């Protein structure tokens, strides 16, 4: 079973459904909330790691779609202009999640979106402004 | 008695394609198994490289005269003010200059655009004189339309630099990058054993007139850099601890490449410019061999608290640990991150190695050696 990280976007109008609870109880998906920014009347975001067999995960995602919750794999929400990168390492300084690290041997920046917690610190730490995040 | 050679002998070997040229990293690795005498015997030249943010940089530009002519007084390029308090159509673009509120675009970006061959908007005004009657001009300029683009950077290639940490409970945004609270990270900015002035710490072979790799073109050491300080304490390997010597560099920016000159913006600090510099070090004798063999573990620098008003020195770190990703300060492990690109520094050292090996780049004897200094003046408030 693979763990994957997703960015969930909740519409401002909630249905009252306990979505995370249902993902756990009804679908038996192991859920790990990495970051949450949800308040009533506003678009909410949840960064969540989900662990389940592929089939179950698919069913859970279909359920979320029914509830108007957008669920996007984390690597599709972060854009990094690798072609323009000078591999200085300034972004790795702020990435406490360990998604951005310097490869000691090649001295190149390595980006593992699966480890990202969407703290957004790299957006400002990159002196060339090569990161952008689109949460929809 | 170990071999000694002169610059002229080395150049003779370069011309005939017989020179043995290694990068500073290669010679450091070789130094693990060879003695200084053996390296002095085998190696003629060692190439260095660095590619870091160097704020004290800029470019002279001559726009060419209009008809009727004008003595430009207030000048902007893409709305960034440039210094025009010199003759008629000369100006100096300071890398860190910005026009508020657009503080993320500055002189360095204008320089990068011009080097890239893109057009830039020139706007100049003047009072008008009998000899220079025009009072305003607005036009597009580019690398092709101007007469000169001369990069002249008063302070580049710092010999060693601080490690920055933050003791406070809030994020600090600095020219050393974003410093996380409570010693959350430690940022450093030199290329270590690849760095030019760390391979010739007493500047025996580097002085006024030294030919160098500069921003992708050939450049020269113009003078010692501002805040040049040879009075810093040195460690047992002869390496100054913390920021010490600097270089003023000059070169033709029209020949430069945006691979080695890049504009940068440091959050809530301002604009800076990544500058690529490479200096060849001739291995004249055993002493120089010993210098160029220097390894990251032998280069040390101060850990400075950028959260304290006086920038307190908290400890010392070596570059082997800094590059490995972790240092220890008062028993606490701190994650490290570089701000200068070793990847591009390697590319610079390798490019220079190839140029010299191919006989296209000769070594220079300094026209003048640098004077030793005993420290820096600070600015006293006397009013």
State which H helix or E strand residue B266 sits in.
strand B261-266
In the structure, what pLDDT confidence band is assigned to residue A39 with cuts at 50, 70 and 90? confident
Dihedral (CA of B119, B264, B279, B226) sign: positive
Per DSSP, helices labelled H in chain B are: 7-15, 24-30, 36-42, 107-115, 286-292, 319-324, 342-357
For residues B125 and B282, what is the distance between their CA atoms, to the nearest angstrom?
49
Tell me how long chain A is: 136
The position carrying tokens 């950077």 is: B153
Beta bridge partners of B51: B276
What's the pLDDT score for residue B374?
A: 81
Q: Which residues of B touch A89 (CB under 8 A)?
A: 337-339, 341
Q: List all residues of chain B from 98 to 157 with a beta carbon under 8 Å from chain A.
A: 104
> Based on the domain organization, do A40 and A56 belong to the same domain?
yes
Chain A residues whose C-beta is within 8 A of a chain B C-beta are: 86-90, 92-94, 96, 101-102, 104, 106-108, 121, 124-125, 127-129
CB contact under 8 A, B265 and A129: yes
User: Active-site positions of B?
Assistant: 131
Which residues have a Cβ under 8 Å from the Cβ of A124 and sit 6 or more positions away? B173, B178, B267
Backbone angles phi and psi of B99, in degrees to 5: -115, 110
Both A57 and A92 in a single domain? no
Determine the average pLDDT of the residues in A16-25. 90
| Selected residue of B260, B342, B349 to mutate for chain A interface (largest A Cβ count, 10 A) | B342
Helix locations, A17-135, DSSP H:
19-25, 54-66, 90-94, 121-125
Q: Which of B104, B111, B123, B157 is nearest to B278 (CA)?
A: B157
B293 in helix, strand or coil? coil
Q: What is the pLDDT of residue A134?
A: 83
All residues of chain B having their beta carbon less than 8 Å from the beta carbon of residue A88 are 51-53, 274, 338-341
Closest-CA residue in chain B for A87? B341
Structure tokens at B112: 């990068």
**Same domain for A63 and A114:** no
Residues A7 and A42 in one domain: yes
Residues 6+ apart with CB under 8 A from B275: B51, B52, B54, B57, B153, B156, B214, B215, B260, B261
Q: What is the mean pLDDT of residues A20-42?
A: 90
Is there a contact between A96 and B340 if contact means CB atoms under 8 Å apart? Answer: no
CA distance, residue A10 to nearest chain B CA (Å): 30
From chain B, the residues in CB contact with A101 under 8 A are 325
3-state secondary structure of B327: strand
Q: Closest residue of A to B190, CA-based?
A: A88
How far is A115 from chain B, CA to nearest CA, in Å? 17
Rounded-to-integer distance, Cα B110 and Cα B108, Å: 5
A63-67 long-range Cβ contacts below 8 angstroms, 24+ apart:
A63/A19, A63/A22, A63/A23, A63/A26, A63/A27, A64/A8, A64/A19, A64/A23, A67/A15, A67/A17, A67/A19
CB contact under 8 A, A102 and B344: no
| Co-location of A42 and A12 in the same domain | yes
Specify the CATH number for the domain of residue A18. Answer: 3.30.70.260
ipTM for the whole complex: 0.94
Q: Is the pLDDT of residue A15 over 70?
A: no
- Global pTM reads 0.93
Distance from CA of A84 to the nearest CA of B (A): 9
Q: How many Å lie between the alpha carbon of B338 and the closest alpha carbon of chain A?
A: 5
Using the Cβ of B349 and the Cβ atoms of chain A, whether some distance falls under 8 Å is answered with no
Report the CATH number at residue A103: 3.30.70.20
The three-state (H, E, C) secondary structure of B149-204, written as one string: EEEEEEEECCCCCCEEECCCCCCEEECCEEECCCCCCEEECCCHHHCHHHCCCCCC
Contact (CB<8Å) A93/B187: yes
Same domain, A11 and A69: yes
Mean pLDDT of successive 10-residue stretches along chain B, which has 383 residues: 85 98 98 96 98 98 98 98 97 96 95 98 98 98 98 98 97 96 97 98 98 98 97 96 96 98 97 98 98 98 97 97 96 97 98 98 98 92 93
Tell which of A38, A57, A76 closes a domain.
A76
- Letter string b/e over residues B42-78, b meaning 16 or more CB atoms within 10 A of that residue's CB: ebbbbbbbbbbbbbbbbbbbebeebeeebbbeebbbb
- If asked whether residues A24 and A54 sit together in one domain, one would say yes
Contact with chain A for residue B320, Cβ under 8 A: no
Residue B2 three-state SS: coil
Do residue B262 and residue A128 have CB atoms under 8 angstroms apart?
yes
Nearest CA in chain A to B187: A93
Confidence of residue A77 (pLDDT cuts 50, 70, 90): confident
What residue spans define the domains of chain B? 7-54+152-357, 64-146
pLDDT class of A136 with cuts at 50, 70, 90: low
Cβ of A108 within 8 Å of Cβ of B343? The answer is yes
B338 and A94 in contact by Cβ < 8 A? no
In angstroms, the CA B74 to CA B90 distance is 12
| Residues spanned by the domain of A115 | 78-133
The answer on A87 and A68 residing in a single domain is no
Distance CA B27, CA A11 (A): 60
Considering only CB atoms, B339 lies closest to which of A89, A96, A124, namely A89
- Give the pLDDT band (50/70/90) at residue A114: confident
The alpha carbon of residue B180 is apart from the nearest alpha carbon of chain A, in Å, by 7
Parallel, antiparallel, or unpaired for β B300-305 and B280-282? unpaired
Residues, chain B, total? 383
Inform me whether the C-beta atom of residue B177 falls under 8 Å from chain A C-beta atoms. Answer: yes
The whole-number pLDDT of residue B20 equals 98
Does one domain contain both A58 and A83?
A: no
CA-atom Rg of chain A in angstroms: 17
Q: Quick check: B187 and A90 CB within 8 A? A: yes
Give the residue from chain A lying closest to B342, CA to CA: A107
Q: How far is A14 from chain B (nearest CA, A)?
A: 35
> CB–CB of B337 and A87 under 8 A?
no
Asked if A67 and A87 sit in the same domain, the reply is: no
How many folded domains does chain A comprise?
2
């Amino acid at each position: 079973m693979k763990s994957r990280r997703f960015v969930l976007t909740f519409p401002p109008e909630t249905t009252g459904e306990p979505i995370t609870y249902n993902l756990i109880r009804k679908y038996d998906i192991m859920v790990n909330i990495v970051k949450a920014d949800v308040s009533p009347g506003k678009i909410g975001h949840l960064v969540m790691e989900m662990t389940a067999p592929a089939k179950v995960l698919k069913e859970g995602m279909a359920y979320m779609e029914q509830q108007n919750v957008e669920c996007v794999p984390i690597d599709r929400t972060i854009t990094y202009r690798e072609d323009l990168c000078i591999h200085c390492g300034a972004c790795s300084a702020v990435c406490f999640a360990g998604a951005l690290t310097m490869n000691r041997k090649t001295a190149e920046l390595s980006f593992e979106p699966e480890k990202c917690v969407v703290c957004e610190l790299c957006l400002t730490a990159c002196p060339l402004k090569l990161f952008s995040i689109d949460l929809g | 008695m170990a071999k000694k050679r002169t610059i002229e002998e080395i150049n003779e070997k370069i011309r005939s394609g017989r020179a043995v040229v290694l990068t500073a990293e290669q010679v450091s690795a070789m130094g693990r198994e060879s003695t200084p005498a053996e390296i002095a015997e085998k190696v003629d030249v060692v190439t260095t490289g660095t590619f870091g943010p160097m704020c004290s940089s800029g470019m002279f530009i001559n726009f060419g005269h209009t008809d009727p002519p004008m003595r430009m007084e207030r000048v902007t390029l893409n709305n960034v003010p440039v210094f025009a308090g010199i003759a008629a159509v000369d100006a100096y673009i300071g890398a860190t200059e910005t026009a508020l509120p657009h503080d993320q675009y500055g002189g360095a970006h204008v320089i990068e655009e011009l080097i890239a061959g893109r057009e830039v908007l020139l706007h100049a005004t003047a009072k008008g004189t009998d000899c220079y009657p025009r009072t305003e001009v607005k036009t597009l300029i580019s690398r092709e339309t101007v007469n000169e683009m001369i990069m002249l950077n008063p302070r580049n290639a710092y010999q060693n630099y601080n490690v920055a940490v933050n003791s406070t409970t809030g994020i600090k945004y600095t020219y050393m990058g974003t410093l996380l609270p409570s010693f959350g990270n430690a940022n450093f900015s030199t290329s270590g054993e690849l760095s030019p002035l760390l391979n010739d710490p007493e500047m025996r072979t580097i002085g006024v007139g030294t030919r160098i790799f500069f921003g992708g073109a050939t450049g020269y050491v113009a003078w010692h850099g501002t805040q040049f300080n040879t009075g810093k304490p040195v460690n047992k390997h002869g390496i100054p601890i913390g920021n010490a010597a600097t270089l003023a560099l000059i070169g033709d920016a029209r020949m430069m490449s945006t691979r080695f000159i890049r504009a940068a913006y440091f959050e809530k600090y301002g604009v800076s410019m990544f500058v690529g510099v490479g200096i060849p070090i001739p291995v004249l004798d055993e002493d120089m061999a010993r210098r160029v063999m220097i390894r990251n573990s032998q280069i040390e620098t101060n850990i400075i608290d950028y959260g304290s008003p006086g920038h307190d020195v908290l400890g010392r770190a070596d570059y082997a640990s800094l590059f490995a990703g972790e240092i220890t300060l008062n028993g606490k492990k701190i994650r490290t991150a570089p701000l200068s690109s070793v990847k591009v520094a390697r590319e610079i050292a390798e490019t220079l190695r190839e140029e010299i090996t191919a006989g296209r780049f000769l070594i220079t004897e300094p026209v003048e050696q640098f004077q030793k200094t005993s420290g820096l003046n600070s600015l006293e408030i006397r009013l």
